[in-house]
Structure 1
Amino acid sequence: MEYANILLRPLVSEKATMIKEAANQVVFYVHPEANKIEIAKAVEKAFSVTVDAVRVVRRRPLARSRMGKVTGRIPGYKKAYVTLAQGDKIEFFEGV
C-alpha cells in the first residue's frame, strides 16, 4: 500500500491541537487495514520526519436507531496518534 492510500486525512480538532503542542503528536485518520509499521513509514515518507511511536484507535461501525428501529449505520474509523522525534514537527496550516 502506498502512503497516499494509508494516510487518509489529518484530524484537526481542539484535542488534536492540544496533543500536538503538548506531546509532539499528530493525529491522522488512516486506512482500516493499515498497521503501525505501515503508518510510521507512510508518515516518515510523506513529511520527512522521524517517528518515535504510533498508537492506533479503532471505532467499530454502529447501527443508528430511531424510536427503537434501526434506520442506518454510523461508519467506523481508525485513527493513529503518531509521536514525532524531538525537534521534528508537521505544520498543516503554515502562515495562516
Structure 2
Amino acid sequence: MKITDLLIKPILTEKANAQQESLRKYAFKVNKKANKLEIKSAIEAFYGVNVIAVNTLVVPGKNKTRYTKAGFIKGVKSGYKKAIVTVAEGETIDLYANI
C-alpha cells in the first residue's frame, strides 16, 4: 500500500492539538486495512521522525436523521480508523507545512 493510500489526513481537533503540545502524540485518519507496522513506517518515511508507539482505534459510524417536507430522511455517517502516533522526544511533526 502506498503512503498516500495509507494516511488519509491528520486530525486537527482541540483535543488532538492539546496532545501534540504536551504528550508528543499526533492523530491521523488512516485506511481501515492498515496495521500498526505500516502506519509506523509511513509516518517515518513521510514526516522524517522516529515513531515510538502507534495506537489504533476504529471510530464507529453514526446514524443521522433529518426532517424535511417529505418526512424523516435516515442515513449513516461512515466510520473510520484513527491512529495516535507518539514520536521521540525532541521531535515534532509540522502538520501545517503543506497548507
2:60 partner amino acid: R
**TM-score relative to the length of structure 2:** 0.85
Ranges in structure 2 where 5+ consecutive residues have no aligned partner: none
Deviations 1:31-65 (CA, angstroms, capped at 9, x unpaired): 01100000000000000100000000102233435
- Counterpart of 1:79? 82
**TM-score relative to the length of structure 1:** 0.87
Ranges in structure 1 where 5+ consecutive residues have no aligned partner: none
Alignment of 1:13-92 (within 5 A): 13-65=13-65, 71-92=74-95
- Equivalenced residue count is 93
1:83 partner amino acid: T
Does structure 2 conserve the Cα–Cα contact (< 8 Å) formed by 1:63 and 1:70? no
| TM superposition outliers: structure 1 runs of 4+ over 2 Å | 60-67
Q: Which structure has the larger Rg over C-alpha atoms? A: 2
Q: Does 1:93 align with 2:96?
A: yes
Shift, 1:70, TM fit:
7.4
Percent identity between the aligned chains?
34
1:14 partner amino acid: E
Does structure 2 conserve the Cα–Cα contact (< 8 Å) formed by 1:44 and 1:51? yes
Separation in 2, partners of 1:83, 1:38: 15
